[in-house]
Structure formats: C-alpha cells, structure tokens
C-alpha cells in the first residue's frame, strides 16, 4: 500500500518530479471565503495537501484574489508581520505576510492604501475561543496592479463561481460534501455574483 498514494499521477507522468502537480489557484469572492470553515485533507499522509472547502464546493489550496488594499498594519512584535485588508465587491479578505513571506511582506510594507493589489496565497483558518472560524490568506506573493486587472478578476471570479453553483446540482463529491456541511443557499450566492458584476457597470 505504501508508495501507492496517488497511483494515477505517478504512473502517468513518471518524469515529473514524482507526480508533483502545482495546485490550481481558485477564484473565490470575499463573501464566500468568509463563510468557509471546513478544512479537508486529500490523503492521510502528513505531506498530503490540505484544503479549505467553500460553500460552493471548491477545495482551495491556493487562492487568487485581486482587490483594493484599504488598510494595513504591522502587528509583529519582533519581526515584521504585516496584515492587510483587501476589499472586493462582496466583502473583505484578510491577508497576512510575515518573515517567511519576505517579498510579500515588503510589498505590504511599502504600499500606501488604497491601491489595487493582486494576491496569490494559501487559505488559513483560525478558530476563536467562541468557536467561530476566521479565514485569512497567507500571501505567497503580492503585486500592485491596475484597475482593468481588478475588473477582469471580478468577471473571472464570477464566472468560476457560477460554474460551481451549477455544479452543485450534480453529484460531484466536493459539491455533495459542501451541500451537506453548509446547506448552501444557491440563491444567496447567485445574488452575490450578480451584485459583484453589477458593481462593475458603474
């Protein structure tokens, strides 16, 4: 059984670094990301990637967001640890970058809000004493972008979200799991997508 964790990938691409495949960056709106609280893991191995399952049923190991940086703060005590608030049409993401993300931390340090910013990072969750789950993004890289890139992201994210909502009707395992856990209200998210797109028309 050992050495057979992912037989499909390793046998198909024997040359590609033991079957390593880069995790896809998913596009998720802030409102949906904020409501996500289900951590999942693919295998039982300590090296298997962990995911955050969102209400529309996508397993996120990497996330791509373009929004407006509205606030930033260095909350580190000894080393720098930057936290930023990035706003999209539906809400806000919290983004963090510490000493292990030096490039991203530098970008946060030198950027003056407000500014359009692209974030590529990993989702992380924190459970409060009251049992609420707070989500944030640990930034891998941050980059200042223009308004057109931000608008394009909103459209792209809307498209992906719509596709996921349509997939929720089917029996895709992630979709089924999401419906079980969140009892996803499709109308609610459909309205969220519509609101996001309508905000572009102004």
Q: What is the largest CA-CA distance in the chain?
A: 57
17 forms part of the interface with another protein (CB under 8 A): yes
145 forms part of the interface with another protein (CB under 8 A): yes
Strand partners, 141: 120
155 forms part of the interface with another protein (CB under 8 A): yes
Phi-psi region of 183 (alpha: psi -120 to 50; beta: other; left: phi over 0): left
Q: What are phi and psi of 170, to 5 degrees?
A: -85, -165
87 forms part of the interface with another protein (CB under 8 A): no
104 forms part of the interface with another protein (CB under 8 A): no
159 forms part of the interface with another protein (CB under 8 A): yes
Tell whether the torsion through CA atoms of 39, 40, 46 and 49 is positive or negative: negative
85 forms part of the interface with another protein (CB under 8 A): no
109 forms part of the interface with another protein (CB under 8 A): no
- State the number of binding residues for another protein (CB under 8 A): 45
- 26's enclosing H/E stretch is strand 25-26
106 forms part of the interface with another protein (CB under 8 A): no
152 forms part of the interface with another protein (CB under 8 A): yes
Please classify residue 112 by burial: count the beta carbons closer than 10 Å to its beta carbon, then call 0-12 exposed, 13-18 middle and 19+ buried: exposed
Q: Which stretch binds another protein (CB under 8 A): 33-41, 68-76, 123-131, 186-194?
A: 186-194
Residue spans of alpha helices (H) in 86-185: 102-110, 147-167, 173-182
190 forms part of the interface with another protein (CB under 8 A): yes
Site string for another protein, 45-64 (x = CB under 8 A): -------------------x
> For binding to another protein (CB under 8 A), which residues are involved?
1-2, 11-17, 20-27, 64, 66, 118, 120, 140-141, 143-145, 148-149, 151-156, 158-160, 162, 190, 193-194, 197-198, 200-201
């Amino acid at each position: 059984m050992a050495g057979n964790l992912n037989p499909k990938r390793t046998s198909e691409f024997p040359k590609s670094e033991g079957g390593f495949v880069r995790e896809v960056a998913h596009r998720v709106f802030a409102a949906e990301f904020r409501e996500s609280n289900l951590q999942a893991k693919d295998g039982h191995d300590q090296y298997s990637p962990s995911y955050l399952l969102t209400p529309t049923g996508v397993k996120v190991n990497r996330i791509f967001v373009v929004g407006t940086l509205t606030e930033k703060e260095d909350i580190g005590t000894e080393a720098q640890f930057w936290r930023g608030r990035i706003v999209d049409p539906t809400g806000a993401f919290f983004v963090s970058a510490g000493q292990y993300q030096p490039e991203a931390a530098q970008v946060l340090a030198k950027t003056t809000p407000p500014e359009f910013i692209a974030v590529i990072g990993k989702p992380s969750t924190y459970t409060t004493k009251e049992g609420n789950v707070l989500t944030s993004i640990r930034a891998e890289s941050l980059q200042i972008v223009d308004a057109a890139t931000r608008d394009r992201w909103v459209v792209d994210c809307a498209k992906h979200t719509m596709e996921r909502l349509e997939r929720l009707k089917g029996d895709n395992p992630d979709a089924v799991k999401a419906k079980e856990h969140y009892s996803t209200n499709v109308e609610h998210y459909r309205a969220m997508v519509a609101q996001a797109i309508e905000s572009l028309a102004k």
